[in-house]
A and B are shown apart, each in its own frame.
Chain A
Amino acid sequence: MKIKWVLLAFLSTIVNVLSGCESLAVLDPKGPQAQTQANVIWLSIAIMAVIVIVVCAILVFVLTKYRDSKLPKDYEPPYIEGNHVVETIIVGVPILIVIFFSVVSVISNNKVEATPEGYKGQDPLVIYASSSDWKWHFSYPENDIETVNYLYIPTNRPLEFKLYSFGPITSFWIPQLGGQKYAMSNMVTTLHLAADESVEMMGRNANFSGKGFAENTFHVEAMSQDKFDEWVKEVKETAKPITEVRFNELLKPGHEGQLTFTGTHLDFSPAPEGENAGHHHGSSDSNANSKGEHMEHDHKSSNSKEKSPHKHE
């Protein structure tokens, strides 16, 4: 009974896989948004597994019971149009499941689009994450610093990422904090995240953007607010300011190591929002006016040195 064995093999792989899943990035969340998403994923895996098992069970039953070689020679299958009870069940149960999932989906959508649970009312740290071929530029208007290809974030504080791109559409993704949103050239999208633990994580551009796409990754490190403040202070003391000339150099296609600057490129090359906005598609972003308050920092960091590319082992 080949079919049976194949199905058994399926089931056992599924079980094996599920037991190994805890360590998969997406299912190993380090923040409330990723946690919400992991919960939705687990819930849907569970319900969907039941459906697959039911279908497989019926299939195996039918195939073993009604195979040609097993039936009496004179057996003639009957003509059956359908059956109202059966049809009600096969329509009704999926409808109930879909209703249930719709509710889950709407609730979770609202969660991932809002300030993370447990962080409401706190003042978020706004970070502008913009991509160029094939780098990530992180601007911290509040701290007045900028990094390239790495991201330091404080734990236990809501983060508000403002995403846009200097080239093709890219997608900002830190699997363990929560996923992914597009960064586009003439609008700013907002992603609300937060980190619960001090950990190092992988972040990347998830949307194909040409030749250097595979290496379009960045390093993420979540640390306590104290450590974060310390780091900011260090950057201010050691890093060189970002200048328009230097920034335009960075925008050219190619890869760079991890770089650190004081000041942000938002000063001379503002993000496409507010009066620079290209377009928007009904984003639920409530922080349309957040730009103004961040732009008021003044930068007197002319005597700081550019730090040699930030190294991480």
Chain B
Amino acid sequence: MGFFSRFLIPNPSPVIYSSMVAIGVTVLLIIVGITHFKKWFYLWSGWLTTVDHKRIGIMYLISALLMLFRGGVDAVMMRAQLAVPDNKLLDSQHYNEIFSTHGVVMILFMAMPYIMALMNFVVPLQIGARDVAFPRLNAISFWLFFMGAMLFNISFVIGGSPDAGWSSYFPLAGNEFSPHVGTNYYMIGIQIAGIGTLMTGINFLTTILKMRAPGMTLMKMPMFTWSSLVTSIIIVFAFPVLTVALIMGTMDRLFATKFFTMTDGGMDMLWANLFWVWGHPEVYILILPAFGLFSEIIPTFSRRNLYGYRSMVASMVFISIYSFFVWTHHFFTMGQAAYVNSIFSITTMVIAIPTGIKIFNWLFTMWKGRIRFTVPMLYSIGFIPLFTIGGVTGVMLAMSAADYQYHNTMFLVAHFHNVIIPGVVFAVLGAGTYYWPKMFGFMLNERIGKWAFWFLTIGFCLAFFPMYITGLDGQARRIYTYSESTGFGPLNMISFIGAVLMAISFVLIVYTIYYSIRHAPKDVGDDPWDARSLEWATHNPVPEYNFAIIPQVNSRETFWDAKYKGHELFKGDYEKIHMPNNSGVPFIMSCIFFVFGFALVFSIWFLAIIGLIGIFVCMAHRSFEIDHGHYISVEEIKETEAKFRGVNKWK
């Protein structure tokens, strides 16, 4: 293939050409805008070089929302294509690319960063710390994630997108059956982002174990911090598997090794095993923090402590370990013996027990409470019945004999959306609303938010419940069209309508943000929800150093005690605070990673070598750098604190 022809899209269509134009115009507008408002310096010093966990959290949040849009457009296009039989809207290749990128984008570039956004923003505040353990590593994690995601996304306009599904099974994903560069993007884009995630895991593990405020023993940690701790542990064990699998896949594609080939001793199922050894824990990496978030929101809006704290913790720890022993349920049909299927069938079902415990604990938290139906609470309430349905269908799938009939069908698609949307998406949207005032200092409009919630919920039910039925009627997943005679038509039309409602809800969410920026009051106090944990003990928005004085913890709900039981949270006086310096290296290094990745995707070796050298230069630079950070003086702290109204309220 000629050098330039590799960069062309294998089968372009008007959709792709118009999005190329749209992307070009948007980039141009952004550049012009920043230049016009003279914001380059602000952007560089305030954001691109920041090591502040709160700003990194916000950047994660923005990326996640952008990716939600990208994945959402894919989703609506898929549902539009399937809405009527024999539809000609998309061709097979285009559809395959769309569901592959949709899956990857939603899981890895939307749900993950959204969780990371909240972890980054909330965890240090919740444990009364000034930052994460390794602030600069945190910046690198973010920028690697970001560059991995961007690399993956340009596949849409340069060279072609992956088309072997988000699970990218070999040999389909090998060169023989996926000759264009799409799967290279998959391997390398996810690799770069995954390294970032692994470092986040290490960072938060250390942060939570080492940087808790005095008095906060493990059993006094708030639930979201617990879930982040457990998640970090899963990340540290699961992501290396992904790294290795992706390296092997990349080698097969770029250097003609034979790990996953059909001949020469390659084993296609080795990929499936490695993928799911990572992939199954991955879904718990998403859902456990979501559980943590619900455990923050539900007590707050029930005005009660979390019921069964100990069993909540125990069940999470149990799930985290067990999530590594069930991966085979993703290929019950691969021809292993009945006893193997039986073992994994049982281990899978066992996970339903701790999950059930959690559901009941949330129900009992609301019991005897004083329930306020705010937007975050609506998401949490909606989550309970919907997630229960998703969970019980999971148990149904776990019965391997029956899974022979569900596997690879719309029933499965319905199930995993049924856990992932009410579980993860509801959690992050609810928590996004909940923490919004902490992040930005004003509240999101409740009325529009409630509309968005109802559109999302009703849209969700319409979009996904019919799939259970079409699945049982024999509709396989990932088919781009079907004939009239199958009778799948009407139910798929309902799904399409549901998808449109969900899209509307997303527009409403964006609109709430826009509306609230313009109209919401800008002083809501530090604790607008009357919440219970430490993150609400500091100001809105949070000052750079988080807490002027490190809080003293005496119980699980120390802030609540401070408000209503006279516990003294901030003892002692202001002292100068040590903070890390900003650094451009994480951003620059990640840009080089991007170039390096791009060069690998297209096998441009000289550029790859230059990139590799660049990466090592950045690392070397760090090891010779002398940087002791800086101090914030007592005067400056006093000044900042004085600017906030209600200063020293809890002091």
Please list the residues of chain A having a beta carbon within 8 angstroms of any beta carbon in chain B: 2-3, 6-7, 10, 13, 17, 20-21, 24-27, 34, 36-37, 40-41, 44-45, 48, 51-52, 55-56, 58-59, 62-63, 66-68, 71, 75-82, 86-87, 90-91, 94-95, 98, 101-102, 104-106, 108-114, 133, 163, 167-169, 171, 173, 175, 178-182, 184-187, 189-190, 202, 204-214, 278-285
Question: Is B333 on the interface with A (CB-CB < 8 A)?
Answer: yes
B335 near A17: Cβ-Cβ < 8 Å: no
A78 near B399: Cβ-Cβ < 8 Å: no
Q: How far is the CA of A173 from the CA of B471 in the complex (A)?
A: 13
Q: Residue of A at shortest CB range from B347?
A: A102
A109 near B341: Cβ-Cβ < 8 Å: yes
In the assembled complex, how far is the CB of residue A176 from the closest CB belonging to chain B, in whole angstroms?
A: 8
Question: Is B206 on the interface with A (CB-CB < 8 A)?
Answer: no
Q: Residue of A at shortest CB range from B387?
A: A55
Q: How far is the CA of A62 from the CA of B365 in the complex (A)?
A: 10
**B353 CB contact (under 8 Å) in A59, A95, A114, A133:** A95
Q: Which of B19-27, B59-67, B475-483, B572-580 contacts A (4 or more CB under 8 A)?
A: B475-483
Could you write out 24 A-B pairs with CB less than 8 Å apart?
A10-B385, A10-B461, A26-B474, A41-B405, A48-B396, A55-B384, A56-B385, A62-B366, A77-B369, A81-B307, A87-B311, A98-B349, A105-B398, A113-B337, A133-B177, A169-B172, A175-B405, A186-B263, A208-B164, A210-B177, A213-B479, A281-B336, A284-B338, A284-B339
A185 near B363: Cβ-Cβ < 8 Å: no
B399 near A104: Cβ-Cβ < 8 Å: yes
Question: Is B364 on the interface with A (CB-CB < 8 A)?
Answer: yes
Q: How far is the CA of A66 from the CA of B369 in the complex (A)?
A: 6
Please count the residue pairs between chain A and chain B whose beta carbons lie under 8 angstroms apart in the complex: 294
Q: Which of B445-474 contact A (CB under 8 A)?
A: 454, 457-458, 461, 465, 468-469, 472-474
List the A side residues contacting B340 at CB < 8 Å: 281-282
**B396 CB contact (under 8 Å) in A44, A75, A181, A202:** A44
Q: Is the interface of B mostly helix, strand, loop or mixed?
A: helix
Q: Residue of A at shortest CB range from B272?
A: A169
List the B side residues contacting A210 at CB < 8 Å: 96, 163-164, 172, 177-178
A109 near B363: Cβ-Cβ < 8 Å: no
B465 near A109: Cβ-Cβ < 8 Å: no
With A169-B169, A182-B335 given, name 9 new contacts (CB 8 A).
Answer: A44-B399, A59-B363, A66-B368, A105-B400, A179-B407, A207-B408, A214-B480, A281-B336, A284-B337
Question: Is B606 on the interface with A (CB-CB < 8 A)?
Answer: no
A41 near B396: Cβ-Cβ < 8 Å: yes
List the B side residues contacting A77 at CB < 8 Å: 302-304, 368-370
List the A side residues contacting B263 at CB < 8 Å: 185-186
A110 near B338: Cβ-Cβ < 8 Å: yes
List the A side residues contacting B514 at CB < 8 Å: none
Q: Residue of B at shortest CB range from A280?
A: B335
Q: Which of B278-319 contact A (CB under 8 A)?
A: 302-305, 307-311
List the B side residues contacting A95 at CB < 8 Å: 353
A180 near B405: Cβ-Cβ < 8 Å: yes
List the B side residues contacting A79 at CB < 8 Å: 304-305
In the assembled complex, how far is the CB of residue B291 from the closest CB belonging to chain A, in whole angstroms?
A: 16
List the A side residues contacting B478 at CB < 8 Å: 208, 213
Question: Is B633 on the interface with A (CB-CB < 8 A)?
Answer: no
Q: Residue of B at shortest CB range from A89?
A: B360
Of B177, B408, B458, which is in contact with the most chain A CB atoms at under 10 Å from its CB? B408
Given A41-B396, A52-B385, A27 and B472 touching (CB < 8 A)?
A: yes
Q: How far is the CA of A271 from the CA of B107 in the complex (A)?
A: 38
List the A side residues contacting B363 at CB < 8 Å: 55, 58-59, 62
Q: How far is the CA of A136 from the CA of B256 in the complex (A)?
A: 29
B368 near A112: Cβ-Cβ < 8 Å: no
Given A3-B381, A10-B461, A26-B473, A211 and B333 touching (CB < 8 A)?
A: no
List the A side residues contacting B526 at CB < 8 Å: none
Of A95, A105, A204, which is in contact with the most chain B CB atoms at under 10 Å from its CB? A105
Q: Residue of B at shortest CB range from A282?
A: B337
Q: How far is the CA of A111 from the CA of B482 in the complex (A)?
A: 32
Q: How far is the CA of A49 from the CA of B296 in the complex (A)?
A: 29
Of B384, B472, B480, which is in contact with the most chain A CB atoms at under 10 Å from its CB? B472
Q: Residue of A at shortest CB range from B462?
A: A13
B392 near A41: Cβ-Cβ < 8 Å: no
Q: How far is the CA of A87 from the CA of B312 in the complex (A)?
A: 11
List the A side residues contacting B384 at CB < 8 Å: 55, 59
List the A side residues contacting B352 at CB < 8 Å: 94, 98
Of B267, B303, B385, which is in contact with the most chain A CB atoms at under 10 Å from its CB? B385
**B360 CB contact (under 8 Å) in A20, A80, A90, A133:** A90
List the B side residues contacting A3 at CB < 8 Å: 381
B368 near A78: Cβ-Cβ < 8 Å: yes
List the A side residues contacting B92 at CB < 8 Å: 211-214
**A55 CB contact (under 8 Å) in B267, B388, B408, B409:** B388
Question: Is B342 on the interface with A (CB-CB < 8 A)?
Answer: yes
